[in-house]
Amino acid sequence: MLKLSKKSKNFFENFVNMFFLSILTGLFVGVIVTLYNICAALGEEYSVRLYNLVFENPAYIPLLFLGLASGAIVIGTAVKFVPMIRGSGIPQIEGAARGVVPFKWYVTLCAMFAASLACFFMGVSGGSEGPSIELGGCVGSGVASAFKRRRMAQRLQIASGASAGLAVAFNAPITGLVFSLEEAFRSFSPQVFVCAAISVIVALLTRNAIFTPITGKPVSFAFDAFTFSEIDPLSCLWVALAALIVALFGVLFYHLVFLSKKLFSRIGFFKGLGKFLIPFAFTGAFGLITVYSMGGGREFIEVMGGLDGASSVSVLGASLTASVIIIVILRLISAVMIMGCGIPCGVFIPMLALGAGGGAVLSLLFQRWGMAPEYSDYLILICMAAFFTCVVKAPITGLVMIFELTGQFVNFLPALLGVAIGYLVSFVFRTEPIYEKCLNMYIEEEKLYEKVKKEVVTVSVQSETRADGEKIREIIWPANGLVLEVIHADGSRSVADGETILHASESIVFECETSDREDLLDYLYSIVGKPISDE
């Protein structure tokens, strides 16, 4: 019988983890998330028709609010029993990818799929991109679990699935790929890059294969109504001023979200489910005022393109500028309450819609003060990037997203300017990345650290293992862990850093916060190899 060497076994295992599993993850994410987004779009269209019907027949208003109240109780119950679907799900799935948030992938997938779709059919001002990311992460976890992969491989597939989910939702492969590096793992590991790239490519190929036959619509960029021409340096001043104002608007949004979380946490009516009645009641009221306050905001962003079709945007008979201001205020209140209460739908696109709305208002004002109208699209899109970057603090994702969502690369300089200003404003006001802070709050609320204690273990690096010959920074270590020092073969010790290369016969001293020492050792053995005497 042919006996494989340890090196061959490790190569085969890495091949399975990094290629085969990533292909399967991309395939299933492409199918599930595409179907989910098609259903979400249908839900938004249905809710618009429903609210228009109610607006034309005021006698149905009590029935509308009764239905919203019933839906609020159902959604609140789902969130209570499955906390992983609280809010957009992005912080939770990021925590799962880093190994700090345990979850059952099949429960979370089914609950988020159903609950978020129900919200869209009721007209909630939320987007499908956040849930798409969590659904993708759940699929990745499911694929790794089905093949009984170890913890490191599961984390890789969760991050890969999340990236593929965002790529499918936006039809933006590079944005999805950068998201896994900048947000999910916050690490530029070659393993993460390869796994995420494979999953993103396969997922988008799958999406493109099934989207048009199902919907009859061509696959296109999300916002194709925006056009750009050459921008002169002087006009960049308008863009810089607008980006600064909208970034300050982002700081306001950031603080309102956490104020909202604090206020909603104090509502204990009906065992805490009563708090869900508030945002759903506002959803009904805002939807009757203008349909542009509903859904993720794609249509609102699209109609802002060039402001050519914006003449149809009229709220209560107000002027265009006043109407856009009203819509922005309504969407701001909705997004703040969605995040504060924890309704299972995303705010990824709603945040972009807030940035676009703020940019549209400034564009209309600046045109009165001498700005050329052809720079309006530049200004609106750069404000989207500035708002997103200020709140999420993911500048590379924000920069790449602008290019992919428009399909045009002539706006690099103003886009870079807007992202830089947004990040600078967040630095000056010392705001944390919003998803990172939400993750920390989730961990605290769910008491995930109650049984956690600090462990210090020493393990030896075996030959021809994952760690042998690798830099420390290129290895996906257990979450909340740190390689303190390296013990060399001659007994000498050295302090480790990211550039330190590990070799067989060396040992590492690893410090980590964990609730299970044996699980920690099993994870480390998957990286450095298990000593022969322990096998």
Going along the chain from its start, the domains and CATH numbers come out as: 9-215 (1.10.3080.10), 233-444 (1.10.3080.10), 451-534 (3.30.70.1450)
CB atoms within 10 A of CB 212: 12
Task: Give the H or E element holding residue 484.
Answer: strand 481-487
Of the chain, the percentage scoring pLDDT greater than 90 comes to 39
- Are 356 and 331 contacting, i.e. CB atoms less than 8 angstroms apart? no
Beta carbons within 8 Å of 19's beta carbon, 6+ residues apart: 198
Residue 280: both structure tokens together: 């759903």
Beta carbons within 8 Å of 277's beta carbon, 6+ residues apart: 69, 72, 73
Angle between helices 129-146 and 90-97 (to 10 degrees): 30
| pLDDT over 70 at 533, yes or no | no
If we measure between CA atoms, which residue out of 475, 477, 531, 473 comes closest to residue 505? 531
Residue 192 confidence class, pLDDT cut points 50, 70, 90: confident
Give me the pLDDT at residue 228, please: 67
Mean pLDDT of the chain: 85
CA distance 298 to 335: 14
User: 292-304: buried (b, 16+ CB within 10 Å) or exposed (e) per residue?
Assistant: bbbbbbbbbbebb
Higher-pLDDT residue of 291, 404 = 291
CA distance 283 to 325: 18
- Are 351 and 433 contacting, i.e. CB atoms less than 8 angstroms apart? no
Beta carbons within 8 Å of 441's beta carbon, 6+ residues apart: 261
CB atoms within 10 A of CB 385: 33
| 3-state SS, residue 71 | helix
| pLDDT over 70 at 95, yes or no | yes
Give me the pLDDT at residue 39, please: 94
CA distance 292 to 296: 9
| pLDDT over 70 at 1, yes or no | no
Over residues 222-233, the mean pLDDT reads 67
| pLDDT over 80 at 78, yes or no | yes
CA end-to-end distance (rounded Å), the chain: 22
Lowest mean pLDDT among 14-23, 381-390, 435-444: 14-23
Over residues 425-433, the mean pLDDT reads 92
Give me the pLDDT at residue 17, please: 62
Higher-pLDDT residue of 465, 250 = 250
pLDDT in tens, 433-453: 998 899 889 988 888 776 677
pTM of the entire predicted model: 0.88
Lowest mean pLDDT among 3-12, 218-227, 497-506: 3-12
Residue 118: both structure tokens together: 């129900």
Residue 59: both structure tokens together: 């006698």
Amino acid identity of 469?
G
Over residues 334-353, the mean pLDDT reads 91
Burial of 492 (0-12, 13-18, 19+ CB in 10 A): exposed
CA distance 133 to 158: 10
- Are 71 and 118 contacting, i.e. CB atoms less than 8 angstroms apart? yes
Give me the pLDDT at residue 225, please: 67
User: 167-176: buried (b, 16+ CB within 10 Å) or exposed (e) per residue?
Assistant: bbbbbbbbbb
Q: Phi and psi dihedrals of 243, rounded to 5?
A: -60, -40
Over residues 504-510, the mean pLDDT reads 88
Residue 32 confidence class, pLDDT cut points 50, 70, 90: very high
- Are 295 and 215 contacting, i.e. CB atoms less than 8 angstroms apart? no
Over residues 80-100, the mean pLDDT reads 88
Residue with tokens 């059919």, as numbered in its chain: 121
Higher-pLDDT residue of 263, 317 = 263
Q: Cα dist. 464→7, 165, 195, 509, 523 in Å?
A: 5, 34, 21, 20, 17
Give me the pLDDT at residue 24, please: 94
| pLDDT over 80 at 385, yes or no | yes
Give me the pLDDT at residue 9, please: 56
CA distance 530 to 535: 7
Over residues 498-508, the mean pLDDT reads 86
Over residues 467-494, the mean pLDDT reads 83
Of the chain, the percentage scoring pLDDT greater than 70 comes to 89
Give me the pLDDT at residue 152, please: 76
Lowest mean pLDDT among 185-189, 198-202, 429-433, 452-456: 185-189
Over residues 230-258, the mean pLDDT reads 86
Amino acid identity of 159?
A
Task: Give the H or E element holding residue 284.
Answer: helix 277-289
> Which DSSP letter does residue 85 get?
G
Give me the pLDDT at residue 2, please: 45
Over residues 294-315, the mean pLDDT reads 74
Over residues 9-25, the mean pLDDT reads 73
Over residues 189-204, the mean pLDDT reads 87
Over residues 24-32, the mean pLDDT reads 95
Residue 499 confidence class, pLDDT cut points 50, 70, 90: confident
pLDDT in tens, 400-421: 887 777 766 666 777 788 889 9
Q: C-alpha dihedral over 462, 464, 469, 470, to 10 degrees? A: -90
pLDDT in tens, 513-529: 777 777 788 888 878 88
Over residues 34-48, the mean pLDDT reads 93
Higher-pLDDT residue of 498, 50 = 50
Handedness of CA 194, 195, 196, 198 (dihedral sign): positive
| pLDDT over 90 at 67, yes or no | yes
